C-alpha cells in the first residue's frame, strides 16, 4: 500500500466553505492549508474548477462526511469511486473520514450517527477502513465524532476503540478536540483523560470548532454546530493536546453562522500562537 505523508507539519488551516472560495482566491490569506468536504466537490463543474486553482497556492486536505464507515451494510462503491477520482485529481496531503455511520438500507441520513462500541462494530469499521485505504491507496485519518447519546451495550471506551482501530488497520487519527469536549460534557467523561488515552503517534490532524449550548428538558446539552468561536475550555484542551501530540496540523472549522473570512483567519492565528508556544516550550516530538 502506498501511504501518503501524514506527518507533514502544515501549521494551522481553515475549513474552506463556499462563501469564502472567491475571497481566498483573490486575497490569498496567510493560512497554512485548506480542508474541504469531499461531497461538495464530487460534481465536475465550477466548485471543482475553483478548487483546482486554489491547489496551486495551498496544501489541500479532503475530509469525507458521507462514506459511512460504520454502516453494517457494505460501503457504497459508487461513492467510494467518486472519492477516489477526487483524490486522484486533487492529490491532497491529508484524507480523513469519521467514526460514525449515516447510511442504512441505502438511505443517507446526512448526519454522523453514533455507533455502539463493541467487538462487532470494531470488525465492521476495521474492514471498511482497510477496504477504503486499499481503494484510495492512502492512509485514512479517522475522526472521533461528537455524541449526544451512547448505547447501553457499548463496552469499549471511545479512545480505546480508536486505538484498536489504528492497530488493526494502520489508519491514523483526526483528533477533534471540540468533539471530545462536547461528547464528554454530554455523556459524562473527562476530556483530558480521553486525550491521554489516544495513541499519540497516530494523531495526524486536529480539528477545532465552536459549539452551542442548548437546553434539553432543563439540562444543558452541547451541540457541535461549528457556529461560534472556539470556546475557552476547548482552547485549554487544545493546549493539552499539543503538549501530548506535538504541533500536529490543525484546522479551524466554521459551518453555521459563517463569519467574514478575516474572523476565521484570526481564529487560525490564535491556534498558531498556541502551537508556537508548544514548540518554544521544547516539545520533543513523537518519533
Partner 1 sequence: MPALRELQSAFLRAMFGPDEPELLTAIAGDGLLPEARLQIYRHHVMTSLTDALQATFPVVCRLVDERFFRYAADAYIRHYPPAAPCLFEYGAHFPAFLAAFPPCRHLEYLTDVARLEWAMNTAWHAEVCAPLDPAELGSLAPHDVAQLTFQFDPSVTLLDSPWPIDQIWRVHQSAEEVYDPVDLNAGGVSLEIRRWEDDIGFRRLAPAIYAFRTTLATGHPLAMAAEAALAVSQEFDCVAALHELLTDGVVIGFTL
- Contact residues: partner 1, CB under 8 A: 39-40, 42-47, 49, 65-68, 71-73, 76, 78-79, 82, 101-111, 113-116, 118, 120-121, 124, 148-154, 186-188, 216-217, 219, 221, 223
Judged by beta carbon, residue 118 or residue 270, the one nearer partner 1 is: 118
Closest distance of CB 38 from partner 1, Å? 9
CA distance 287 to 284: 9
Judged by beta carbon, residue 72 or residue 213, the one nearer partner 1 is: 72
Judged by beta carbon, residue 111 or residue 269, the one nearer partner 1 is: 111
Closest distance of CB 25 from partner 1, Å? 11
Judged by beta carbon, residue 43 or residue 285, the one nearer partner 1 is: 43
> Between helices 77-90 and 46-54, what is the axis angle to 10°?
40
Q: How many Cβ atoms are within 10 Å of 185's Cβ, its own excluded? A: 17
Closest distance of CB 262 from partner 1, Å? 24
The C-alpha angle 31, 33, 39, rounded to 5 degrees, equals 130
Longest dimension (CA), the chain: 52
CA distance 174 to 65: 13
Residue 63 in grid coordinates:
475530509
Closest distance of CB 81 from partner 1, Å? 12
Amino acid at each position: 500500500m502506498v501511504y501518503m505523508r501524514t506527518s507533514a507539519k502544515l501549521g494551522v488551516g481553515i475549513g474552506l466553505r463556499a462563501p469564502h472560495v472567491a475571497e481566498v482566491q483573490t486575497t490569498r490569506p496567510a493560512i497554512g492549508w485548506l480542508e474541504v468536504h469531499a461531497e461538495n466537490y464530487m460534481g465536475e463543474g465550477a466548485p471543482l474548477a475553483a478548487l483546482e486553482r486554489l491547489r496551486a497556492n495551498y496544501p489541500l486536505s479532503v475530509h469525507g462526511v458521507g462514506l459511512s464507515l460504520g454502516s453494517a451494510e457494505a460501503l457504497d462503491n459508487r461513492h467510494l469511486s467518486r472519492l477516489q477520482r477526487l483524490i486522484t485529481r486533487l492529490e491532497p496531503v491529508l484524507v480523513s473520514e469519521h467514526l460514525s455511520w449515516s447510511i442504512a438500507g441505502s438511505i443517507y441520513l446526512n448526519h454522523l450517527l453514533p455507533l455502539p462500541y463493541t467487538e462487532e462494530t470494531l470488525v465492521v469499521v476495521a474492514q471498511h477502513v482497510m477496504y477504503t485505504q486499499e481503494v484510495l491507496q492512502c492512509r485514512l485519518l479517522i475522526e472521533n465524532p461528537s455524541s449526544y447519546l451512547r448505547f447501553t451495550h457499548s463496552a469499549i471506551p471511545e479512545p480505546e476503540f480508536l486505538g484498536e482501530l489504528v492497530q488493526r488497520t494502520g489508519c491514523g487519527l483526526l483528533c477533534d478536540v471540540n468533539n471530545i469536549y462536547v461528547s464528554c460534557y454530554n455523556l459524562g467523561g473527562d476530556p483530558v483523560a480521553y486525550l491521554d488515552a489516544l495513541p499519540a503517534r497516530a494523531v495526524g490532524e486536529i480539528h477545532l470548532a465552536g459549539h452551542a449550548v442548548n437546553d434539553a428538558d432543563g439540562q444543558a446539552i452541547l451541540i457541535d454546530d461549528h457556529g461560534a468561536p472556539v470556546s475557552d475550555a476547548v482552547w485549554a484542551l487544545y493546549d493539552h493536546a499539543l503538549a501530548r501530540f506535538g504541533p500536529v496540523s490543525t484546522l479551524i472549522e466554521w459551518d453555521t453562522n459563517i463569519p467574514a473570512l478575516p474572523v476565521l483567519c484570526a481564529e487560525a492565528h490564535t491556534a498558531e500562537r498556541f502551537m508556537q508556544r508548544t514548540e518554544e516550550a521544547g516539545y520533543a516530538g513523537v518519533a
